[in-house]
Amino acid sequence: GDKVKAMQKLREHYFLKTDHPVKVGDLAEAHVLAVRDDKALVECCGCEYRIDAYSLNDRFVESCADWVKPGNKIRVRFRKVHINEDGTVRIAVTGRMKASAEMLMGMSVGSSYLGTVDGYNSYKKHYNVILLNGVTAVIPENNVMMGRSLKVGDQVNVKVNAVLETHIIGSAIRI
């Protein structure tokens, strides 16, 4: 009960009751709660999130246990912040630090980048891909070439169709 209340107070402080709420692209400190070879569970600003090994660092990470241990503090960047009408907060963070606004704005429509599928949103019917430069790409399901479905961890080539403030929209083909 006490931990649940404390986490709720942190979420309210960072996302709801502040003049400068946390937003996509912000850096923060996260506490590592648990580690497996393929992912680490972290707590950041009152929210828990898992970071897969491939998005833990700008360099290749084969095993999370090689980089972090429970109790460590790490720097993370917010990739997504979603606040529901009832005040619940969902976040996505990455240990990659390269995903700066400058990196995003340096991308051009029509260019191609390599990336790794990070997730699938069944409600919006799109894939999230973390490009090797740290930028997040959103790939609508109907923009996956050759009609193949993708899985988390698949390596893909992404063609940029649009550059937005926080991510790109693109099309992808599995490699």
pLDDT at residue 156 above 70? yes
pLDDT of residue 135: 82
pLDDT of residue 78: 85
64 or 147, which is more confident? 64
151 or 53, which is more confident? 151
CA–CA distance, 84 with 145 (Å, rounded to integer): 33
pLDDT of residue 58: 66
- Closest among 81, 106, 88, 103 to 28, alpha carbons compared: 81
Does the global pTM surpass 0.85?
Answer: no
pLDDT at residue 111 above 90? yes
**Alpha helical stretches, state H, the chain:** 2-11, 101-105
Pairing mode of beta strands 89-94, 168-174:
unpaired
Return the percentage of the chain with pLDDT > 90, whole number: 35
CA–CA distance, 80 with 16 (Å, rounded to integer): 15
pLDDT of residue 60: 66
pLDDT at residue 113 above 80? yes
pLDDT in tens, 44-103: 999 999 988 877 776 667 788 888 999 999 988 887 888 888 888 888 887 866 655 667
106 or 161, which is more confident? 161
pLDDT of residue 146: 86
Per-residue pLDDT, averaged over 6-15, amounts to 89
| Position 27 confidence tier, pLDDT thresholds 50, 70, 90 | confident
Contact residues for 2 (Cβ-Cβ < 8 A; gap 6+): none
